[in-house]
Amino acid sequence: MISNNKMFGILVPIISVLLGLIAGAIIMLGSGHNPIRGYVALWNGAFGDGYTLGETIRRTTPLILTGLAVAFAFKTGLFNIGAEGQVIIGWLAAVWVGLVIDAPMIIHLPLSVLAGAIAGGLWGFLPGILKAKLGVHEVIVTIMMNYIALFTTNEIIRSVLTDGKTTTESIPQTASLASAWLQGLTLYSRVHYGILIALFAAFLMWFIIERTTYGYELKAVGFNQHASNYSGMNVSKNIILSMVIAGAFAGLAGAMEGLGTYGSISVMSGFTNLGFDGIAVALLGSNHAFGIVIAALLFGALKEGAGEMPTTAGVPTELVDIIIALIIFFVASSYMIRWAILRFKKEEK
Amino acid sequence: MEYAIEMLNIRKEFPGIVANDNITIQLKKGEIHALLGENGAGKSTLMNVLFGLYQPEKGEIRVKDRKVNITNPNIANDLGIGMVHQHFMLVEPFTVTQNIVLGKEPTNKFGKIDIAKARKEIQELSDRYGLKVDPDSKISDISVGMQQRVEILKTLYRGAEVLIFDEPTAVLTPQEISELMEIMRSLVKEGKSIILITHKLKEIMEVCDRCTVIRKGKGIGTVNVSETNATELASLMVGREVHFKTEKKEAQPGENVLQIKNLYVKDSRKVDLVKGLDLEVKAGEIVGIAGVDGNGQSELIEAITGLAKTNSGSIRVNNKEISNFSPRKITESGVGHIPQDRHKYGLVLDYSIGENIVLQTYYKKPYSKAKVLNYKEIFRKAEDLIKEYDVRTPSVYTKARALSGGNQQKAIIGREVDRSPDLLIAAQPTRGLDVGAIESIHKKLIEERDKGKAILLISFELDEIMNVSDRVAVMFDGKIVANVKPEETNEQELGLLMAGSRVKAGERNQ
């Protein structure tokens, strides 16, 4: 028998997505657009041909990783708002190593990817140790770390990696995740091998959390620190470890952008939003690795497909932001949906 | 005969379990009616049905001979049913008056809360029933017993005719318990009716008129308290003969297992609470620590188990110094600990029973290998333990949170005893449990003793200390002030020692 909690974990997001799409349709109707044409355009914009499919996967890749970054910390009872900063710092580190090191691909590429993960991990380590040793709330620290990452990175791009320019040179082929083969398959989209790394990371998270003693400890600390301490677990160590692994996932997301999509890093006027979207992805994916992959794909598709809506259906792209916001609203207010499901089940009896 | 409330043939099911199966309880006007049953027998479920928190699958509820349909607590309130919960629902920084009016604030004609009017009304209610509650005190400043009276006032203020008390004495001191009994008597004298949910037979015999017994979700029957006795009630509840006095052989103490010398421990406010304590527990003996709560017992346990740092002094287990070791190292040195607060320390409530069973051993073979958990072994172990220790749970995959307190405790005891520690610390192991569970836990402790383990029992129940211990160490003001044999002392003498008023000559700090 499937337990109630599991059932809700699957049903609530699906119903939320449907409600979000229905509400989006109503808004389109209300503003004088044809919702069927709007959604057909959205679908075609995301999965219509090889190119859009490739771009959808490219958008999905970092969202999987930032979703994992938020969910992993959440399993230990920590709210990692810092995925954003961890993405930026991971991006910087990956490109930096990509630019300055000269080595054959078999060494250079893994090293660059690893640099992104380590930098992100370090960006998670600081809030982790502050939380564990001094009890400083991780939400405050990670939010501040986001700004530190953004402005430090911009300054490093301008004054260290370039000579006052806003974009670095492109990384050499030996550090690139780009794949001529994948691009050929998808009519020269920017899809890259990073999706494999993201999927592997999702599997890794599932394995660590569900199958290892590390996951057992991390979850126990998240549920009840007193009992964890009583049973001999090191609570501080687990808090730090959780933030480091979460940061490493987000750092990898940055590396995907730097080594895969763009092949460089540019001065940013604001946040990438990959980290913040990761919070929504984790929420929609019920903090479960598989759910996160699906949720990231949905977000990637919505964002990619939105581009097609103004040209063929006359619907403004902002509508997709509204739909995403509504989906999040419905997930967050899952209590209503649970209540409705329970009512429905009872009447069935 | 008109009944204040009748619950007829109530049936309530949860997935995988029938919590109430054909239970009938009829409450006469002006009586105190006990609802007796073991932990997990379905008492709370039945009352939640009455209070509108659950809907029954079958059966009917009648109030004053009228069939009613209680679908939420507001309807129960309107029908004059009030519940005094076991866990208080009070806002700590608010005053008594503010808490009582919360949700039913009286307002003047401009819509402003008329607190003065409420205050007066509450004062009157308090005086009428002899509750002695000060309407202006803050909840955070008053004792647990007083807080309970605020809960009682809350129901009276809302016009309750029928009061349900959910295990009201679990959190009270003996003094507060006898005061509560007085209050209950004055409530019925004023025409209220009371349902008392409990598993304490002493209280039923003392204060109740009739008693309805339920066992494993089934209604067993209703008896007049004047025509029965505690032994009969106990066997009705448990379904077999119950022995109040635990049988045990003479202890055969061996080598010292625990040896504490001149121990000092500070609490979180940096105040010394254990002040130069000496204590020994030998293999094959049960040492009971008797004392009034707050004399350093909790700090002593925390120091032995590594949850708190010691300031000075030595703690040796099997002749190895363990003071200020990490909890894990202490566990591995052969110490088991049944914690006083099972929800805070003993269990991860959101983990399954199976996962809780390996809380200290998950990192060892066969439960994991190379850091990878072997859930098959974990759940197999859990299956064995729940059978051996009679933990009633739908399955080993059920979350610990879903179990009744007694079954949670049995799971913890199973886990700790099964590791076969040389020293077992049992802190209030039977708190909040019914006689059947208490009996089996005492038996387990004595069994372990007979296997040559050292057992340190901490309890605020003198009955338990006298019944189970081979030696009683009286703790007062952070020190052991006397060591006595239970058969050579009595409750009066222990009571005096616990109050620090008399120290037996020549036995101090032995």
Q: Are B120 and B208 found together in one domain?
A: yes
Q: Are B17 and B76 found together in one domain?
A: yes
**pLDDT value of position A2:** 47
Phi and psi at residue B297, to the nearest 5° = -60, -45
Check: CB of residue A177 under 8 Å from CB of residue A257: no
Residue-wise pLDDT for B282-316, tens only, equals 999 999 999 877 788 989 999 999 999 999 999 99
Question: What's the longest Cα–Cα distance across chain B?
Answer: 78
> Residue B486's closest CA among B444, B457, B509, B506?
B457
Q: Whole-angstrom Cα distance, residue A62 to residue A42? A: 21
Q: Are B169 and B317 found together in one domain?
A: no
> Residue B161's closest CA among B63, B50, B25, B69?
B63
CA distances from B96 to A307, A344, B33, B112, B118 (A): 60, 42, 28, 19, 11
- With respect to residue B248, please indicate whether it lies within any of the assigned structural domains: no
What does DSSP assign to residue A167?
B
User: A2, A226, A228, A230: best mutation site toward chain B, by most B Cβ within 10 Å?
Assistant: A230
Q: Are B59 and B135 found together in one domain?
A: yes
Contact criterion met (CB < 8 Å) for B326 and A227:
no
- Which of A213, A214, A227 is facing B348, going by the closest CB pair? A227
**pLDDT value of position A247:** 97
Check: CB of residue B196 under 8 Å from CB of residue B228: no
- With respect to residue B381, please indicate whether it lies within any of the assigned structural domains: no
- With respect to residue B355, please indicate whether it lies within any of the assigned structural domains: no
Query: How many CB pairs below 8 Å do chains A and B form together?
Result: 63
Q: How far is A209 from chain B (nearest CA, A)?
A: 10
Contact criterion met (CB < 8 Å) for A227 and B373:
no
- With respect to residue B382, please indicate whether it lies within any of the assigned structural domains: no
Chain A hits for B355, CB-CB cut-off 8 Å, are: 216
Q: Poorest-confidence range of A142-156, B310-324, B426-440?
A: B426-440
**pLDDT value of position B506:** 44
**pLDDT value of position A139:** 95
A299: left (phi > 0), else alpha (psi -120 to 50), else beta?
Answer: alpha
| Torsion angle of C-alpha atoms A205, A211, A214, A220, degrees rounded to 10 | 100
Q: Whole-angstrom Cα distance, residue B13 to residue B19? A: 6
- With respect to residue B374, please indicate whether it lies within any of the assigned structural domains: no
Residues of chain A with pLDDT under 70: 1-5, 345-349
**pLDDT value of position B14:** 82
Chain B residue with minimum CA distance to A231: B360
Which whole number is the average pLDDT over B461-468? 86
In three-state secondary structure terms, B468 is helix
Q: Are B175 and B108 found together in one domain?
A: yes
CATH code for the domain of B288: 3.40.50.300
Residue-wise pLDDT for B35-46, tens only, equals 998 877 888 889
CB within 8 Å of A77: residues ≥ 6 apart: A221, A222, A223, A225
Instruction: From B206, B238, B270, give the residue that closes a domain.
Output: B238
Q: Is B17 on the interface with A (CB under 8 A)?
A: no
**pLDDT value of position B372:** 95
Check: CB of residue B282 under 8 Å from CB of residue B276: no
Q: How far is A221 from chain B (nearest CA, A)?
A: 9
- The three-state (H, E, C) secondary structure of B15-27, written as one string: CCEEEEEEEEEEE
* Concatenated DSSP letters of B101-113: HTTS--B-TTS-B
- With respect to residue B227, please indicate whether it lies within any of the assigned structural domains: yes
Helix residue ranges per DSSP H, B87-158:
96-101, 115-128, 144-157
Chain A residue with minimum CA distance to B359: A231
Chain B hits for A233, CB-CB cut-off 8 Å, are: 328
Number of domains in chain B: 2
State the residue range of the domain holding B294. 256-334+421-498
> Residue B201's closest CA among B242, B247, B141, B155?
B242
Contact criterion met (CB < 8 Å) for A227 and B328:
no
Chain A hits for B362, CB-CB cut-off 8 Å, are: 213, 216
Q: Are B167 and B306 found together in one domain?
A: no
- Which of B345, B351, B355 is facing A230, going by the closest CB pair? B345
Chain A residue with minimum CA distance to B368: A213
Chain A hits for B329, CB-CB cut-off 8 Å, are: 232
User: A2, A6, A7, A216: best mutation site toward chain B, by most B Cβ within 10 Å?
Assistant: A216
> Residue A249's closest CA among A285, A283, A289?
A289
Q: Are B46 and B154 found together in one domain?
A: yes
**Pairing mode of beta strands B312-317, B320-321:** antiparallel
Q: How far is B290 from chain A (nearest CA, A)?
A: 24
**pLDDT value of position B450:** 94
Instruction: From B205, B238, B271, give the residue that closes a domain.
Output: B238
Instruction: From B238, B271, B306, give the residue that closes a domain.
Output: B238
Chain A residue with minimum CA distance to B307: A230
Residue-wise pLDDT for B223-282, tens only, equals 999 999 888 888 888 887 777 677 788 888 999 999 999 999 987 778 888 999 999 999
B507 has a pLDDT exceeding 50: no
Contact criterion met (CB < 8 Å) for B373 and A228:
no
Q: Are B104 and B200 found together in one domain?
A: yes
Phi and psi at residue A310, to the nearest 5° = -65, -40
Q: How far is B292 from chain A (nearest CA, A)?
A: 24
Q: Are B232 and B277 found together in one domain?
A: no
**pLDDT value of position B501:** 66
Q: Is B368 on the interface with A (CB under 8 A)?
A: yes
Q: Where residue B2 falls among pLDDT bands split at 50, 70, 90?
A: confident
Q: Are B36 and B79 found together in one domain?
A: yes
Helix residue ranges per DSSP H, chain A:
4-30, 35-47, 50-75, 83-100, 105-129, 138-156, 180-185, 194-211, 213-223, 225-230, 235-255, 274-284, 289-306, 309-313, 318-332, 334-348
Contact criterion met (CB < 8 Å) for B362 and A216:
yes
Q: Is B321 on the interface with A (CB under 8 A)?
A: no
Q: Is B412 on the interface with A (CB under 8 A)?
A: no
- With respect to residue B410, please indicate whether it lies within any of the assigned structural domains: no
Q: How far is B300 from chain A (nearest CA, A)?
A: 15
Chain A hits for B14, CB-CB cut-off 8 Å, are: none
Q: Whole-angstrom Cα distance, residue B94 to residue B102? A: 10
Residue-wise pLDDT for B132-163, tens only, equals 899 999 988 888 888 999 999 999 999 999 99
Q: Whole-angstrom Cα distance, residue B118 to residue B105? A: 8
pTM comes to: 0.77
Q: What share of chain B is helix, strand, coil (3-state, %, to 5)?
A: 35, 25, 40
Q: Is B348 on the interface with A (CB under 8 A)?
A: yes
**pLDDT value of position B85:** 84
